[in-house]
């Protein structure tokens, strides 16, 4: 059996390729949308992808399962466990063609057996997959847990409320997660390896470990939730689980619904055209295109492009892109600043991971588009900005630990979605902890028509270092 873990550090998301070398067949679990990655990997190992599946209707990235099945002709297996329960709730059944998977169903990939295990809690339809290498044993050795169990943590049950329009579904979700842990996870032998769908940095849990895998036995020994489950303390488990969950970026809601209804099929896209910068200037003026400035933050601050989205190329390119570009609200075509066609294609792929598909070209120069330094406010100069509106784009937990008095807290992943209550007739001064998220958020505001969006130089760390007054909110509510 071949077992390949494919991990993206940007979205902290894991996919899996599992193959049988004897028959040359393979299954891919939880693929991203850049499906050529999986096709090439399978070919490198002499395998053909015959099956595709995923653990659940994802919220944090645009699923590539439908795309990969279309690309390879593989059979697409998806959860059939998402129908509403008797007490109501939303229907999380997939709305496009697939082969349904119920609890206990087995997908056979040569000598490999992949068994679906219904593990509701994070979402109602969630499946985990027990993998058995039938060439060597009849006992399962691997458990692909998706967003059910992470290293040191479990999936949050509140995303349907936070981002997908649910109302108080978190409480029932937490109870179902408790039962899934008791009846499904802890019933497995200690030797079974656990391979989750996310690692540290994902917003799908609050304390994910950075180690890529664990075992049932190790989690039984050290996980915070085990004493609650083994002692039957459901109420205590629910309270601890729901407390302090991170702010959910609002693009999660779009991902949930498009992944349920069926992500658009991209096919094999043509190369991106390189645009003439003078022509781009005209199109920016007309307003049917918008630039995505991908320079490093320090360079962009020295000579910014008015009205451009600021999405620095780097480890968090897809994440920052998903925070700031809202395709359902901004119909303009996107033009990327790129070094060359290869980099432009890579950035287009990474934006597609979160359903941002409207990239129409790239430029390699900003000549004639820039307008000088980004307006910065020194920590000692905030009081000198007349009628300043202060916007804190950190997480709720960071805000609770100390903030600038009077600041509105709104996570950077929510600013581009919820800005109707922000003033157009006052300077908005944006800060985060050290400055990167503030730059991204301020760029989004300028791209959305807020002409006077400034950044607090050095953000909150610089504010504290300068001895400026702070406040400690007692019960922050994410906006």
Q: What DSSP line would sit under 382-425, residue for residue? A: GGGSTTPEEEE-S-HHHHHT-B-TTPEE--HHHHTTS-TTS-SS
Q: What is the dihedral of CA 364, 370, 375, 378, to 10 degrees?
A: 60
Helix (H) or strand (E) holding 359: strand 359-363
Instruction: Render pLDDT for 218-276 as a digit per residue (tens, 0 to 9).
Output: 999 999 999 999 999 999 999 999 998 888 888 999 999 999 999 999 999 999 999 99
Burial of 108 (0-12, 13-18, 19+ CB in 10 A): middle
Contact criterion met (CB below 8 Å) for 142 and 5:
no
Residue 243, token pair as written in the block: 């407390």
Residue 94, token pair as written in the block: 């997939």
Share of the chain residues as helix, strand and coil, in percent rounded to the nearest 5: 30, 20, 50
Burial of 3 (0-12, 13-18, 19+ CB in 10 A): middle
How many other C-beta atoms lie within 10 A of the C-beta of residue 476? 18
Superfamily of domain 2-261 in CATH is Ribonuclease Z/Hydroxyacylglutathione hydrolase-like (3.60.15.10)
Helix (H) or strand (E) holding 462: helix 459-465
pLDDT recorded at residue 476 = 47
Contact criterion met (CB below 8 Å) for 82 and 107:
no
Eight-class DSSP state of 346: H
Residue 11, token pair as written in the block: 């979205």
Supply the pTM of this predicted model.
Answer: 0.93
- Least Cα distance to 118 among 76, 85, 90 occurs for 85
- Least Cα distance to 126 among 84, 150, 158, 92 occurs for 92
Residues forming the active site: 432
Give the contacts of 340 (CB within 8 A, at least 6 positions apart).
364
Superfamily of domain 277-363 in CATH is Rhodanese-like domain (3.40.250.10)
pLDDT recorded at residue 85 = 63
The angle subtended at Cα 452 by Cα 449 and Cα 456, nearest 5°, is 125
pLDDT recorded at residue 91 = 87
pLDDT recorded at residue 207 = 62
Superfamily of domain 376-465 in CATH is Rhodanese-like domain (3.40.250.10)
Residue 30 and residue 139: Cα distance in Å, rounded?
A: 23
Residue 399 and residue 389: Cα distance in Å, rounded?
A: 16
Residue 238 and residue 250: Cα distance in Å, rounded?
A: 24
In the chain, domain spans: 2-261, 277-363, 376-465
pLDDT recorded at residue 244 = 84
Strand partners, 294: none
Do 376-465 and 277-363 have the same topology in CATH?
A: yes
Give the contacts of 313 (CB within 8 A, at least 6 positions apart).
294, 295, 296, 343, 347
Residue 265 and residue 82: Cα distance in Å, rounded?
A: 23
Give me the residues of the chain with pLDDT under 70, please: 85-89, 163-164, 200-209, 473-479
Eight-class DSSP state of 138: S
């Amino acid at each position: 059996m071949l077992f390949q873990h494919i991990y993206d550090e940007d979205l902290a998301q894991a996919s899996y390729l599992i193959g049988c070398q004897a028959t040359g067949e393979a299954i891919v679990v939880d693929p991203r949308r850049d499906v050529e990655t999986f096709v090439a990997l399978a070919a490198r190992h002499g395998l053909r992808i015959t099956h595709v599946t995923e653990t659940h209707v994802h919220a944090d990235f645009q699923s590539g399962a439908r795309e990969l099945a279309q690309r390879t002709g593989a059979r697409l297996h998806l959860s059939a466990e998402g129908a509403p329960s008797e007490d109501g709730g939303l229907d999380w059944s997939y709305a496009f063609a697939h082969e349904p998977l119920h609890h206990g169903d087995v997908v056979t990939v040569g000598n490999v057996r992949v068994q679906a295990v219904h593990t509701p809690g994070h979402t109602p339809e969630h499946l985990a997959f027990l993998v058995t290498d039938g060439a060597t044993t009849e006992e399962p050795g691997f458990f692909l847990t998706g967003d059910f169990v992470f290293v040191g943590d479990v999936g949050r049950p509140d995303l349907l409320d936070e981002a997908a329009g649910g109302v108080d579904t978190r409480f029932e979700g937490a109870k179902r997660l408790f039962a899934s842990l008791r009846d499904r996870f802890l019933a497995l032998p200690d030797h079974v390896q656990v391979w989750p769908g996310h690692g540290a940095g994902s917003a799908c849990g609050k304390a994910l470990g950075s180690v890529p895998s664990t075992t049932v036995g190790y989690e039984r020994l050290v996980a915070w939730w085990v004493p609650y489950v083994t002692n039957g303390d459901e109420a205590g488990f629910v309270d601890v689980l729901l407390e302090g969950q991170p702010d959910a970026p609002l693009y999660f809601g779009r991902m949930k619904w498009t992944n349920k209804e069926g992500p658009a099929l991209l096919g094999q896209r043509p190369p991106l055209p390189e645009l003439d910068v003078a022509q781009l200037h005209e199109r920016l003026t007309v307003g049917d295109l918008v630039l995505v400035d991908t320079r490093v933050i320090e360079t962009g601050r020295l000579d910014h492009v008015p009205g451009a989205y600021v999405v620095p190329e780097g480890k968090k390119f897809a994440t920052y892109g998903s925070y700031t570009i809202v395709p359902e609200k901004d119909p303009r075509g996107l033009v990327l600043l790129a070094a060359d066609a290869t980099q432009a294609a890579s950035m287009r792929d990474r934006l597609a991971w979160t359903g941002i598909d409207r990239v129409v070209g790239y430029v390699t120069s900003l000549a004639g588009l820039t307008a000088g330094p980004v307006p910065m406010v020194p920590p000692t100069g905030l009081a000198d900005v007349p009628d300043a509106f202060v916007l804190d784009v950190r997480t709720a937990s960071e805000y609770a630990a100390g903030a600038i008095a009077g600041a509105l807290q709104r996570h950077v992943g929510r600013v581009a979605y919820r800005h109707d209550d922000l003033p157009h007739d006052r300077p908005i001064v944006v800060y985060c902890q050290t400055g990167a998220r503030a730059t991204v958020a301020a760029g989004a505001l300028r791209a959305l028509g807020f002409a006077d969006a400034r950044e607090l130089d050095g953000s909150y760390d610089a504010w504290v270092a300068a001895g400026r007054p702070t406040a400690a909110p007692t019960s922050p509510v994410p906006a």
